[in-house]
Every structure is written in structure tokens, then in C-alpha cells.
Amino acid sequence: MKKTVRHLLLALLATFPTAQAAGPTAQALAFTCAGCHGTDGSSVGPSSPSIAGMDPDVFVDAMLDYKNERRSSTIMKRIALGYTDEQIREMGFFFYRQPLRVKPQQTDPEMVALGKSLHDSYCEKCHEEGGRPGDAGTLAGQWMPYLEHAMSDYLNDQRRWPRKMERKVKEVVKAEGERAIPALIQYYGSQN
């Protein structure tokens, strides 16, 4: 219930154009991301993630973590350091308003089926509706090489685990072995 209320509030917020403060508009700032993350944040892959429709809190946390070196990256730290915290919030709202356009990815049906059952048992509680955009990030339709990078970073202590996630991931790997994570990634990549 709490989530639904929050979602409605965000949806309402998103219908308003951003207040015009001094400096570049949110749109102008966000347009500069397109060369890697796609027009309006829908990436055409293969590995830079889509950020369209992203929950603004997830966007802001990611950017601030890059900026403050709490999350490893190849290039995003260098980019994030170019923006004020306020600009990052404005960009977060901009991308939240954009519809996520998903491109089909090639997946293995058996792995997808396994991934779906694992998702339902271990992940769905936080990553609702099969990992659709929400306050636990965007998994459904996300580019699979990016999800591989993300999981590798979690498992190699290059990225902070969100609450409960470490326990759940370790449980699913224990139960299903090494194919658990590839299967989950295939399931997310299969959705469009």
C-alpha cells in the first residue's frame, strides 16, 4: 500500500514541468546522456543500461554513489562529477517521465523459464512485477551485459549490496548453483 501511494505521488510529480532554476534545464542536461544511454534514456544496447522510466531515487542514489566513489564504474564517476546534486535530481525526474522502450534480446527459453521460477521465489518481493522499473531499479528488459556487470560487481565486493539482497542472492546461488544468476539475467533480458 505504501508503495502504491508513493508511486501515485511520483506519477503526479512527473506530470509537472520542472521549475526553471538558474542553469541548464533538466531536459538540456538529460539530452547529453543520449549518446550512451539512448534517446530519452532508452538504450539500444548492447551494454549501457536504459535509464528511461527509472525510479528517481534509484537514479539519484546511483549518480551520488558514482560521484562519491561508493560504486565502482568505468566512466560514470567522471561524468557524475560534472553535475550538482540538484542537477542530478532534475535529471532523475526527467528520466522518470520517459517511457522505457525495450529492444528484444536473444535468450534461451529453458534458462528464461528457470530464471522466472527463481525470480518468483527469491527476488519478486523487492523487484516487483518481474523486475519492472520501481524503487529497486529496472531489471525487466534491461540489457543483459549490463546486468552481468552489475551482478559481478556485487559478488566481487565492488558495489554495496542493498538491504536483504546479499542474503537472497547467496541463497539462490546455493540452491541452484552457478546457473542461477545467468538464468535470472536471461529472464530479465527476455521481457519486453
Partner 1 sequence: MNRINRRDFLRLAGGSALAAGTFGFPGLLLANTRKVVVVGGGVGGCTAAKYLRKLDPTLDVTLVEPKTHYTSCFMSNEVLSGDRSIESITFSYADLKDRYGVNVITDSAVGIDPIAKEVRTADGARLAYDACVVSPGVDFKWETIEGYDAQVAETIPHAWFAGPQTVTLRNQLLAMPDGGSVVIVAPPNPYKCPPGPYERASQIAMYCKHHKPKSKILILDPKAKFSKAGLFKQGWAQHYGFETDNSMIEWVGAEQGGKVSAVDPASGTVKAEGGDFHGDVINIIPAQKAGKIAHDADLVENDWCPVDKRTFESTRHPGIYVLGDASSASKMPKSAYAANSQAKVAVAAILARFAGQEPGEPTYVNTCYSIIAEEHGISVAAVYRLSEDGKVIDSIDGSGGLSPMDASAEHRKREVTYAHSWFRNVIDDMMQ
Specify the residue, 20 or 174, whose C-beta has the smaller distance to partner 1: 20
Q: Left, alpha or beta for 143 (phi > 0: left; psi -120 to 50: alpha)?
A: beta
Asked if 126 interacts with partner 1 (CB under 8 A), we say: no
Asked if 165 interacts with partner 1 (CB under 8 A), we say: no
- The number of residues that bind partner 1 (CB under 8 A) is 48
How far is the C-alpha of 31 from the C-alpha of 98, rounded, in Å? 12
Asked if 145 interacts with partner 1 (CB under 8 A), we say: yes
How far is the C-alpha of 11 from the C-alpha of 105, rounded, in Å? 29
Q: Find the binding residues for partner 1 in span 55-84 (CB under 8 A).
A: 56-57, 60-61, 74-75, 78-83
Closest CA to 148 of 39, 34, 77, 46: 46
Nearest distance in Å: CB 120, partner 1? 26
Query: Which stretch, 39-47, 106-114, 164-172, 183-191, contacts partner 1 (CB under 8 A)?
Result: 39-47
Closest CA to 6 of 120, 147, 128, 98: 128
Considering only 1, 4, 5, 16, the residue that binds partner 1 (CB under 8 A) is 16
Asked if 5 interacts with partner 1 (CB under 8 A), we say: no
Q: List interacting residues with partner 1 (CB under 8 A).
A: 6, 9-10, 13, 15-20, 22-25, 28-29, 31-39, 43-48, 56-57, 60-61, 74-75, 78-83, 89, 93, 145, 149, 152
